[in-house]
Amino acid sequence: MKAAGAEIVAVPAVMPHMCVRELMAASPLPVFNIFEPLVRELKTRAIRRIAVFGTRFVIESALFGFAGDVEIIYPRADEVDFIHRTYMELAQQGKGTRKQHNELTALAHTLLERDSVDTIVLAGTDLVLLFNETNTSFPFVDCAALHIAAITNGLLG
């Protein structure tokens, strides 16, 4: 990529960041790591306990061990199944439904109350099909939005 004129590397998805440290070590180009802006945001907002919405692989992996000094609260197995299934439907349909929005919102509130979670980390680019600042009634951090902002700010200086 560098020989072709690329100046930076950005992988705009969460799961491929499983090996971001290796990529950063091997790449001759700077790599925009999705976890760096996430860690900054969590620290800025003094968030200590998070739950993750994304695919099963993202939720169950050690990936969010890269998220800094926070406690990761894992949903129950049936809740992970539901989050994963809903996420995959979003990705396949390319749009969200009111029912999906309401059901994931209810689960978010359950995690906030039952497990004393401070925020829900939206760790999947397709979740933007359901949630944004104007329609979300629970505290959340959107990994994709933070990553895009970091890339844009990095490119613009």
Neighbours of 125 (CB within 10 A): 19
Structure tokens at 93: 């349909």
pLDDT at 12 exceeding the cut of 90: no
pLDDT at 97: 94
Closest CA to 63 of 22, 20, 27, 9: 20
pLDDT at 84: 97
pLDDT at 152: 92
pLDDT at 14 exceeding the cut of 90: no
Q: Which amino acid does the sequence have at 61?
A: S
pLDDT at 62 exceeding the cut of 80: no
Contacts of 35 (CB under 8 A, 6+ apart): 17, 20, 66, 67, 68
pLDDT at 154 exceeding the cut of 80: yes
pLDDT at 4: 87
pLDDT at 67 exceeding the cut of 90: no
Closest CA to 153 of 32, 13, 68: 32
Q: Which residues pair with 121 in a beta bridge?
A: 52, 141
pLDDT at 108: 98
pLDDT at 16: 74
pLDDT at 28: 92
What percent of the chain has a predicted confidence (pLDDT) above 70?
98
Domains of the chain: 34-156 (3.40.50.1860)
Neighbours of 25 (CB within 10 A): 9
Digit-coded pLDDT (tens) for 77-126: 999 999 999 999 999 999 999 999 999 999 999 999 999 999 999 998 89
Rounded to two decimals, the pTM is: 0.89
